[in-house]
Amino acid sequence: MSDASTKRLKIGILEGDDIGHEVVPASVRIARAAAEAAGQEIAWVDVPIGRRALDTHGHTMPEGTLETLSGLDGWILGPIGHREYPKVPEAINPHPILRKHFDLFANVRPTRSFPGIGCLQDDIDLVIVRENNEGFQPDRNVVAGSGEFRPSHDMTISVRVISTAGSTKVARAAFEIARTRDKRLTLVHKNTVYKLGCGMFVDCCYEVAKDFPDVTVDEVIVDTMAMRLVRDPQSFDTIVTTNMFGDILTDEAAGLVGGLGMAPGLCIGRGSVAMAQATHGSAPDIAGKGIANPFAMIESTRMLFDWLGHHHGLERVLELSRHMKRGIDAALAEPATRTPDIRGTGTQEDMVAGIIKRMEAA
C-alpha cells in the first residue's frame, strides 16, 4: 500500500452526558477492534465536554477544546444533556458551537430498516441531509444574542434564517450524497407559505442541480412529507431540507425503524474533518441501566470512518468501516445481541460484545 493511501488518524472522544458515557466508549471499543483488524493506526484523544467537564474543568466546553479538535481528523460526540445543566454561564450547550466553528453545515442522517427488530415498514433505505447551522434554531442563527426574543410578556418572536450560502452548501452536499446512492434527491420545504425563506432554499437547490444532471430531483411539501414518510418511505432515497424540518423528520424516520437508538448521524462540511453525532439525546431515563441501544452511536462512528476513508482516499480506513458494518449487521440479526428497544433479549454489553465477536469471526 502506498504512503498516500495510509495515514495515522487522530480521533477525538467526547463522551457527552448520561448514556454518552456508555455508547461512546462502546463505539470506541468496536472501532479499535476494527482498526486492529484493518491494520489502521488511530491515536485516540480524550476531550472533556459536558457535565463532567463542568465538574472537573469548570466549564462544559473547557478552554482549548476548539484548538484540540482543530488538530484532529474527526471526533465522536456523545449526546449532550444541556437541559439539565445548572443555570450558570459556564454551562453551555457545546454542540452548536462545534458545528458552527468547524462549519459542519450538513447533518447526514440515514434511516435503514433491519429485519426482526420491530420496524414499522421493511425495505427502508433513505438518508436525510439536514441543514445544520441556521434555520429556526435560535442558538445558532445569530452571531450575538438569540434568534428568539420576547418584546413583551405576552409575545415571543422566533427568527428563521435562510441564506443562499447555507442553502447552496447543504444542497451541494446532498447532491454529492445522492450521486453515490440511487441518484434521486427530494427537496423538502414549504415554499407555498414561506415564499421567501423556503423559496430561497429551493432556488439554491435548483441552481446546484445544474452541476448534477445525473441526479433526478423532485419536491415534497414538508407536511405531505411527514405523511408520506409513514406511508411509503421506500419511495425516497436522498432528502435535503432546512434545519428544523430535518430535525423533526429524522426523528419521525427513526420511529419507523425501531426508535432513536437506530438513528445515526454525521456532521460534515467542506473541510477535512467530520463529527459523528447520533440523532438521540442523552436519554437520562435509561442512563446507567446498561440497556441504551448503542447502534446509533456505533453507526455514526462507522460513518465517520467511511467518510474519512473516502475523503482522504484511505483504503485501510474503508476496510475498518466494512469490518464494523459486517459486525453490526450480524449482531442485529440475533435477538441475543440486541437491546430491548429493538426486540432484543440482550443488554448493551451483549450487543457490543456480539458486534466485536462477529467482526472477529468475519
Instruction: Catalog residues that contact ligand ATP under the rule CB under 6 A.
Output: 19, 260-261, 280-283, 285-286, 292-293, 296, 341
Residue number closest to ligand ATP, CB atom: 281
Q: How far is the CB of 209 from ligand ATP (least distance, A)?
A: 32
Choice between 260 and 352, CB closer to ligand ATP: 260
3-class secondary-structure state, position 239? strand
Q: Which is nearer to ligand ATP, 200 or 297 (CB)?
A: 297
- Of 35 and 286, the one with the shorter C-beta distance to ligand ATP is 286
Minimum distance, C-beta of residue 295 to ligand ATP, in the bound complex (Å): 7
Phi, psi (5° rounding) for residue 103?
50, 50
141 or 282: CB nearest ligand ATP: 282
- Least Å distance, CB 95 to ligand ATP, is 10
- Where do we find the cell 437520562? 284
The DSSP secondary-structure symbol of 161 reads: B
Q: Nearest approach, Cβ of 245 to ligand ATP (angstroms)?
A: 16
Q: Which secondary-structure segment (H or E) carries 297?
A: helix 295-312
The set of residues, in sequence order, having a beta carbon less than 8 Å from that of 251 and lying 6+ positions away, is 260, 263, 279
Whole-number minimum distance, CB 254 to ligand ATP, in Å? 9
Distance, CA of 168 to CA of 113 (rounded, Å): 30
The three grid cell numbers given for residue 238, joined into one nine-digit string: 436522498
* Dihedral pair phi/psi, residue 278, rounded to 5°: -65, 160
Which residues neighbour 311 within 8 Å (Cβ) at sequence distance 6 or greater? 272, 274
d(CA 8, CA 117): 36
Chain length of the chain: 362
Through-space distance between the first and last CA atoms of the chain, rounded to whole angstroms: 22
Residue whose CB is less far from ligand ATP, 319 or 350: 350
> Residue for cell digits 498516500?
4
Rounded least distance, CB 280 to ligand ATP, Å = 3
Closer to ligand ATP by Cβ: residue 130 or 322:
130
Question: If you write DSSP's letter for every residue of 325-361 in order, what string do you get?
Answer: HHHHHHHHTSGGGS-GGGT-SS-HHHHHHHHHHHHHH
In angstroms, give the least distance from the CB of 90 to ligand ATP. Answer: 20
Within 82-209, strands assigned E span: 106-112, 125-131, 148-152, 155-158, 184-189
Shortest separation between residue 294's beta carbon and ligand ATP, angstroms: 7
Identity of the residue, 38 or 342, whose beta carbon is nearer to ligand ATP in the bound complex: 342
If DSSP codes are grouped into helix, strand and coil, which group holds residue 221? strand
Nearer to ligand ATP, 19 or 117 (CB): 19
